[in-house]
Amino acid sequence: MPASRRGSGTLTTPSGQTLAFHTRTHDEEDLPHATKKTMADHLRKYESLFTLTPQRMRMIVEAFKDTLELGLQKHDQVVPMIPTFVFGWPTGKERGDYLAVDLGGTNLRVCLVTLQGEGKFEITQSKYRLSEEQKQEDGQKLFDFCAECLKTFIDSNIKEGTIKEGQELPLGFTFSYPCSQERIDHGQLIRWTKGFGVTNTEGRDVAAMFIESLGKADIPVTLTALINDTTGTLIASHYVNPRTKIAVIFGTGCNAAYMEKMGNVEKSKSLGIKDDAEMAINCEWGAFDSFEHEHLPRTKYDKVVDETSNKPGEQAFEKLISGRYLGEILRLVICELIDEGVLFLGQNTYKLEAPYVFDTAFLSLMESDPTDELLMIIGIFTHFFAVETTLAERQFFRALAMLIGKRAARLSACGIAAIVSKMGYLEEGCSVGADGSLYNKYPGFADRIHEGLIDIFGEKGKNIVTHHAEDGSGVGSAIIAAMTKERKDAGLYTHV
């Protein structure tokens, strides 16, 4: 059999045994396609594609601001700017025991949070694994499981004395799937994400379904608030650090939340809430620039990622910056260079050809300690993809990973800057509570966000500081349950 277009092939021995072969040599002098000069020439091309200038960033910020404003004015916008019915900031004086249930993509987490005031708290929690079957079966069965886990957790804590027998506790339910809300304890599921395909749920009130399951299990709780994890992150971070005005999540997806005066939320005027009242807004900003694609610097690789995704045209901002996609962007560049005969000539590269096999975690490893990263790159390519690399290739891969990661961080800074600019936070400055795997684990991601803010705002950009956020889906959910109980006990906006 002749060699393939990538210089690999097989031959059959006289005994009938099939052997794979390649002609790669370790001697870089025999590999002009992999020399330092050639790789440097290619790198310059990708630098021009993936580099975001300060001027371009400022243009994106202005377009982002306009999009946020439009989402506040009208329903059914690309960036929906969802009212959360979480009114105002925590005082820091919230006290008492609260339960939180967090239905995530992999686990169900149940927490007992004791708020101690002065920004302090204690948390006890248990995790329960969700099976793949549970992610696809009937919706009521899923909520029955949630209720059973909560009952198990409560019974266990009664035995340990942390919950009193017969004590009825307020419950915050973190449900981080797109919902339309008309009040704090209601949420109509728009669609499942994160691989869920649970039936008989979309279009229904998930809070009511969970309350039904709680009743069947005879659990002494009151479901006080249904929240998104980004909103919880905003409130939990402010509880601990009152300078926090914005919360962001940069992980598998991306999102932001902040506090808005209701007088600016034109689409919610019919609720009868005073203009000077403040409410947390769940931006769902991963959809920025979807469909029209007028503002974001999409390369041909980004377009392939979009067109081959399960929702083409949607979540345009998220597809440039979230952990779900960065590894795939790098893989597409590598495959293009393989096809052009630049990389891995003479080697079998089929393992690199499957979409999403190049995990974003690999990019993170490539940007780790500079004394180890080239060895790390050898390990990634030999262990996972069975290909050998030259020194010039490894240096190129590291530089390319840095370009893609840096662009993601600088675009993230554009989103933060849009809210800062819209709300007038630049002069006095503010803290931004940030969470998610990219922010927490990707080397240099936070520093690059800060550099991006300075490029956008000049030296005043130093007034905006991100910090690791508090646990929004646990602690934040409990604080919101406490705030909601206090609000309704005081007779304030009880209809929402």
Catalytic residues: 176, 191, 229
Beta bridge partners of 221: 169
Place of tokens 């990707």: 442
C-alpha pair distances (Å), 372 with each of 369, 376, 403: 6, 6, 19
